[in-house]
A and B are shown apart, each in its own frame.
Chain A
């Protein structure tokens, strides 16, 4: 029985979505819950799992098309699951889907109706997989599946070692093939300093970045590429913010010796809990305290009113290969260092894997961005509207500092606050920053 695949509702306020990519084509066999297509809404990018197992018999919305929520974008012939358990027990399961005619919506006439499939076509308004009495055939990721995911032997080997799901990666090779450079960039965080890092820089790699500056006028020889929906949103959002807020920046220098000390002391404990204690967790914690002390920084502007938020929801900017996204740690004030560390790691990983839910990128009251990880001394970040302030973390590195008329070496960093002068004056911003500086420099071992 054919199943309609609909554009899912990804959040309350979302009316439409854009199909970015079809992972399966007409005629492909798809397992239930196997990624079927990729969408981009005005909140998040996400991979949409198939609501049923079968053969994709029809694709109604093409890549790049924007369609209303709940409109049918594809049809899956409910065949695969119907046939597999029937008669031919001798035939290996993997061969079954292949034998099928792709577009034909299997007439379920012959023989005894397979009892294992009470699946009366998944209701069209419920994209989330409804719990089932009898589960469909196990979602075995066979070697064949992995190979079909356009990669290379080397990539598969690296992926296996690092437990990376290649299907989550964005392939830069021909026809979207995941290349060595792609996977090394992905695992790069964990795996840096391995010798191979330098090589991509030599030639391959990101050409446009290395290219000479383009002449201002567009030449016929120039390559024109449509912005991705995410890129368009970032562009609109940034320009809107620049037009909306009266941006001012204030930069403080912070001595991280104390934090480094505490971090070293607690590292083992965190390792045992399977979490990674980063400087960022301390900074979030310090920001929460400072936001509570200076509430106007945890506010937004509504016409001629200032709205002071009770919740402290901290957005963390996550750089992606294909753009930027700001998942939000809800009620960050209720979390300790361990909770914050876990939340950051989880959100960042799911952001990179395109597994964020729309509500997870909404509702932020303050944002932290970390240009320091790319080596920046400090950033001058643009406020994430409708918030009124954003904190930029510079590179934390050992620097010579004067302490009691002696030169000492300390881990130092510049923290910068971008704030909206409409509601926050310089003195208030600096009060906020002084509080942060004070907490970080005088961290107590709890």
Chain B
């Protein structure tokens, strides 16, 4: 029986960050991971590989516009129609990035004396964790090690793609994001179920690579978690790019047939439609992973499969905490985002090490979607702010007016600021357009510091940058932007 201060289950962004922080604070720490590499969903299956693909898509976009940019090949113009992407090279480069980053986590573990234990973890109660080789779904297999946590066990087992009724993911033609990042060919046609971040990012990737893309979203608008104005802009730009969006629609059945899938759709008006496509990508959300963990066995309180925690991530069982995609705080959906998990991991590690910690304010979590155009948002949407009773003031400024946007040939999108009239409080900042995922950092700091709109107006934004739109949108809240 090996003893540790802290045992983390799962080496995703939540788990590995918790472990590194614990190591820095002098706790003897181990991380149990059943995959063969460190990094979890974000690094191996999610954020990192998809963003790598999106950078390829962006490179392709620039080359497709070579004529506009004046780029020639051997003195001859490059025709957009003659340009295509080499998927083998794309995959090789992406894999290199992923494995490099995963090795980086290994290095950080060594540096901070965090031990990596390979296998699947099962809770046995009273600080005990059994490691076994075998099938987590049955929880059976050869027990290889027994560990004990002196201070705390942190469950950071994450999430996995989840399907919708009537659609069975077969990993061949009906796929999840796990398979989509590994495709060796560019689909001619693809239906994407769901228009959250995963759905619209793959829509942008495949459209740019040349696929005929159809998005099917159950709710009445794309990216339904974003501000309504963002959804409207994205739908408009997607339409321009040739992506078909069916909102208020659902896939009623999807059956593999030959080299593709037969799909039945029910559209917004109730109209039925059938399609035959190369692939169906299910991007309808992610469910918690607790199989083989024996969570119920040790008495953890669960809600719809998620582990229930308090604002400092303690479960109802003393000595067990949980963070990341696997948890619910019991008050509305908990954001399944890598940076949220790692922030939670740091809170738990510091708490266990005896540091003073504070709960995270989930109203100040930035969300980034890397579709083309990108979306960055933080804080309350206009609708949420109104629902909370604020007297809302809005300021909007389009990127297209800015010199920088013109130079970059990225005219789409805008910055929208949601503020409270009474105290001039900054409540939310929502942006769609090139580099929005970077620009949202300023807005996040402003919210964190409890800024007023006035402060944002007085903040000098460098020229020429896309960030000027943030300052201008703040001006707009008070009545008048300068450059429009």
Cβ contact of A207, chosen from B354, B359, B449, cutoff 8 A: B359
B-chain residues with CB within 8 Å of residue A161 when the two chains form the complex: 423
Determine if A154 and B318 form an interchain contact, defined as CB atoms under 8 angstroms apart. no
In whole Å, how far is A137's beta carbon from the nearest beta carbon of chain B? Answer: 30
CA distance A220 to B27 in the complex (A): 12
B-chain residues with CB within 8 Å of residue A153 when the two chains form the complex: 449-452, 454-455
Interface residue? A120 (CB, 8 A): no
B-chain residues with CB within 8 Å of residue A204 when the two chains form the complex: 359, 361
CA distance A48 to B356 in the complex (A): 28
CA distance A207 to B415 in the complex (A): 34
B-chain residues with CB within 8 Å of residue A154 when the two chains form the complex: 423-426, 450-452
In whole Å, how far is B28's beta carbon from the nearest beta carbon of chain A? Answer: 13
Interface residue? A228 (CB, 8 A): no
CA distance A210 to B309 in the complex (A): 11
Determine if A221 and B388 form an interchain contact, defined as CB atoms under 8 angstroms apart. no
B-chain residues with CB within 8 Å of residue A194 when the two chains form the complex: 389, 422
Cβ contact of B311, chosen from A152, A207, A215, A223, cutoff 8 A: A207
In whole Å, how far is A154's beta carbon from the nearest beta carbon of chain B? Answer: 4
A-chain residues with CB within 8 Å of residue B352 when the two chains form the complex: 221
Determine if A220 and B451 form an interchain contact, defined as CB atoms under 8 angstroms apart. no
Q: Which residue of B lies closest to A197 (CB)?
A: B389
B-chain residues with CB within 8 Å of residue A196 when the two chains form the complex: 388-390
A-chain residues with CB within 8 Å of residue B358 when the two chains form the complex: 174, 207
A-chain residues with CB within 8 Å of residue B422 when the two chains form the complex: 194
Interface residue? A203 (CB, 8 A): yes
Determine if A223 and B388 form an interchain contact, defined as CB atoms under 8 angstroms apart. no
| Residue among A154, A179, A199 with max Cβ neighbours from chain B (10 Å) | A154
Given contacts A154-B425, A157-B423, contact A211 B312 (CB under 8 A): yes
| Residue among B358, B423, B450, B455 with max Cβ neighbours from chain A (10 Å) | B450
Q: Please count the residue pairs between chain A and chain B whose beta carbons lie under 8 angstroms apart in the complex.
A: 83
Given contacts A198-B388, A204-B359, contact A220 B150 (CB under 8 A): yes
Determine if A203 and B311 form an interchain contact, defined as CB atoms under 8 angstroms apart. yes
CA distance A220 to B315 in the complex (A): 16
Q: Which residue of B lies closest to A193 (CB)?
A: B389
Determine if B452 and A202 form an interchain contact, defined as CB atoms under 8 angstroms apart. no
Determine if A210 and B310 form an interchain contact, defined as CB atoms under 8 angstroms apart. yes
Determine if A195 and B311 form an interchain contact, defined as CB atoms under 8 angstroms apart. no
In whole Å, how far is A351's beta carbon from the nearest beta carbon of chain B? Answer: 26
Q: Which residue of A lies closest to B453 (CB)?
A: A153
Determine if B389 and A210 form an interchain contact, defined as CB atoms under 8 angstroms apart. no
Interface residue? B143 (CB, 8 A): no
Given contacts A153-B451, A223-B351, contact A212 B331 (CB under 8 A): no
CA distance A215 to B318 in the complex (A): 7
Determine if A211 and B150 form an interchain contact, defined as CB atoms under 8 angstroms apart. no
Given contacts A152-B449, A157-B452, contact A199 B310 (CB under 8 A): no
Given contacts A195-B389, A196-B390, contact A203 B329 (CB under 8 A): yes
CA distance A88 to B368 in the complex (A): 55
Q: Which residue of A lies closest to B446 (CB)?
A: A153
Interface residue? A219 (CB, 8 A): yes
- Binary per-residue interface labels of chain B (297-324) against chain A in the complex, 1 for a CB within 8 Å, 0 otherwise: 0000000000000111011101100000
- Binary per-residue interface labels of chain A (196-234) against chain B in the complex, 1 for a CB within 8 Å, 0 otherwise: 101100111101001110010001110100000000000
Given contacts A179-B450, A196-B389, A219-B319, contact A158 B152 (CB under 8 A): no
Interface residue? A155 (CB, 8 A): yes
Interface residue? B179 (CB, 8 A): no
CA distance A205 to B329 in the complex (A): 14
CA distance A348 to B273 in the complex (A): 70
Determine if B424 and A157 form an interchain contact, defined as CB atoms under 8 angstroms apart. yes
User: Would you list which residues of chain A between 151 and 168 have a CB under 8 Å from chain B?
Assistant: 152-155, 157-158, 161
Interface residue? A43 (CB, 8 A): no
Determine if B451 and A221 form an interchain contact, defined as CB atoms under 8 angstroms apart. no
* Chain B interface, number of residues (Cβ within 8 angstroms): 38
Query: Is chain B's binding surface mostly helix, strand, loop or mixed?
Result: loop
CA distance A314 to B150 in the complex (A): 53
Given contacts A210-B310, A212-B310, A223-B351, contact A180 B450 (CB under 8 A): yes
- Binary per-residue interface labels of chain B (339-366) against chain A in the complex, 1 for a CB within 8 Å, 0 otherwise: 0000000000001101010111111000
Determine if B424 and A207 form an interchain contact, defined as CB atoms under 8 angstroms apart. no
Given contacts A203-B360, A207-B310, A207-B359, contact A155 B389 (CB under 8 A): no
Determine if B310 and A211 form an interchain contact, defined as CB atoms under 8 angstroms apart. yes
User: Would you list which residues of chain B between 424 and 468 have a CB under 8 Å from chain A?
Assistant: 424-426, 449-452, 454-455
User: Would you list which residues of chain A between 123 and 166 have a CB under 8 Å from chain B?
Assistant: 152-155, 157-158, 161
CA distance A354 to B168 in the complex (A): 66
Given contacts A154-B423, A195-B390, A219-B319, contact A203 B331 (CB under 8 A): yes
Interface residue? B113 (CB, 8 A): no
Given contacts A157-B452, A202-B331, A219-B319, contact A212 B363 (CB under 8 A): no
Interface residue? B58 (CB, 8 A): no
| Residue among A198, A220, A221 with max Cβ neighbours from chain B (10 Å) | A221
Given contacts A210-B310, A223-B354, contact A152 B362 (CB under 8 A): no
User: Would you list which residues of chain A between 386 and 433 have a CB under 8 Å from chain B?
Assistant: none
Interface residue? B276 (CB, 8 A): no
Determine if A158 and B310 form an interchain contact, defined as CB atoms under 8 angstroms apart. no
CA distance A179 to B451 in the complex (A): 11
Interface residue? B151 (CB, 8 A): yes
CA distance A278 to B43 in the complex (A): 61
CA distance A21 to B354 in the complex (A): 22
CA distance A443 to B399 in the complex (A): 68
A-chain residues with CB within 8 Å of residue B360 when the two chains form the complex: 203
- Binary per-residue interface labels of chain B (366-403) against chain A in the complex, 1 for a CB within 8 Å, 0 otherwise: 00000000000000000000001110000000000000
Given contacts A157-B424, A203-B361, contact A211 B314 (CB under 8 A): yes
| Residue among A157, A161, A205 with max Cβ neighbours from chain B (10 Å) | A157
A-chain residues with CB within 8 Å of residue B389 when the two chains form the complex: 194-196, 198
CA distance A378 to B164 in the complex (A): 52
Q: Which residue of B lies closest to A219 (CB)?
A: B318
A-chain residues with CB within 8 Å of residue B450 when the two chains form the complex: 152-155, 179-180
CA distance A210 to B152 in the complex (A): 20
In whole Å, how far is B445's beta carbon from the nearest beta carbon of chain A? Answer: 12
**10 closest Cβ pairs, A-B complex:** A195-B389, A152-B450, A154-B450, A215-B318, A153-B452, A211-B310, A153-B455, A207-B311, A207-B359, A157-B423
Selected A-B contacts with CB under 8 Å, 14 pairs: A152-B450, A152-B451, A154-B424, A154-B450, A179-B450, A195-B389, A198-B389, A202-B332, A203-B331, A204-B359, A204-B361, A211-B311, A219-B318, A223-B351
A residues with CB within 8 A of B: 152-155, 157-158, 161, 174, 179-180, 194-196, 198-199, 202-205, 207, 210-212, 215, 219-221, 223
B residues with CB within 8 A of A: 150-152, 310-312, 314-316, 318-319, 329, 331-332, 351-352, 354, 356, 358-363, 388-390, 422-426, 449-452, 454-455
